[in-house]
Amino acid sequence: MPVGTVGSVKGVQLRDLKDDINAEIILGNTYHLYLRPGTDILRQAGGLHRFGGFDRPILTDSGGFQVFSLTGIRKLREEGCEFRSHIDGSKHFFSPERVIDIERSIGADIMMAFDECPPGTAPYDYARRSLELTHGWLDRCIKRYSETEPLYGYHQSLFPIVQGCTYPDLRRHSAEFMAAKDAEGYAIGGLAVGEPAEVMYEMIELVNSILPANRPRYLMGVGTPVNILEAIERGVDMFDCVMPTRNGRNAMLFTWQGTMNMRNAKWATDFTPVDPQGTSYVDTAYTRAYLHHLYKAGELLALQIGTLHNLAFYLDLVRQARAHILAGDFCQWKRQVLPQLSSRL
């Protein structure tokens, strides 16, 4: 899912999202959309789909990660979390009920339950108390969800979020608690926050051994192409990450041959396509030398091309993964492509 934090994927028009890279679903951010443009405007517009013009599915996170990253300007308690806006310092309060109401106003097709996302290095006692809070908040989210109706005439799904840091017993407990809710899908949060990749994979395996295999399983905020293929092999179905868009704006491009820093002088006289194996028009329309020139010149077009290229690559990656799953040779294909994907050109 390309990340559209404030209701847009940075630097990408709807035409490009839908026609050129064919994004089937995008992600919006509850915290940012709540602060700006605000739920009143979104309601008047008829929801985020109509406001932004994207007529395909949208997922919104709960805003929990953003709120809890506001170290020093938030107060956490059982009722919810009080925080100050990063925009103007104004005071706000998120409770599970309030977050469900906001996500109803946004009109996301998939809504995340409100949770606390503790630091990856959180001590065990903190992680345990945090998990108890998240579980209690989930019950309140489900209650509010069942008491309210969609505002714009279509169904909205609610996904619980499995937490527990990197403690196996907490992850197991959380996965069992979430699986018992019989939700339409499940998210795995609190990973890819500094822990070693192998530990992340162990937590994914543990959680997915418990979550229902016939429901979507969404790994939040992950990650590199290698991370994605490793997680797919372990049973994950859905992903989001700012990496393709953020890296694209910073001259770091992903290709089937490896990762390229387009500011490096080695590309100045390379007149081959950015990614000869790629399937996007971006890969064949522009050469490495031309993109190197645009980035070095500070041309805004470089940011747009880099973003589109990376999104096209990521979507091609998961489409090929899906095709190989259906063909029954995913593991063999994954072993073949991982060395290239993990290399720096």
Active site residues: 61, 240
How far is 236 from 233, CA to CA, in rounded Å?
A: 7
Residue 111 three-state SS = strand
Calpha distance 264→253 (Å, rounded) = 12
**Taking every pair of C-alpha atoms in the chain, what is the biggest distance, in angstroms?**
62
- Cα dihedral 6/119/64/32 (nearest 10): -20
For 33, phi then psi, to 5°, come to: -70, -30
Question: Are 198 and 224 a contacting pair, CB within 8 Å?
Answer: no
Beta strand spans in 80-237 (E):
80-84, 91-94, 110-112, 157-159, 161-162, 186-188, 217-219
Q: What is the dihedral of CA 188, 191, 196, 199, to 10 degrees?
A: -30
End-to-end CA distance of the chain: 26
Cα–Cα distance between 55 and 73 in angstroms, integer?
Answer: 36
Q: Which residues pair with 88 in a beta bridge?
A: none
Comparing C-alpha atoms, which of 167, 171, 111 is closest to residue 141?
111
Cβ-based neighbours of 330, under 8 Å, separated by 6 or more: 232, 233, 321, 324
Amino acid (1-letter code) at residue 115: D
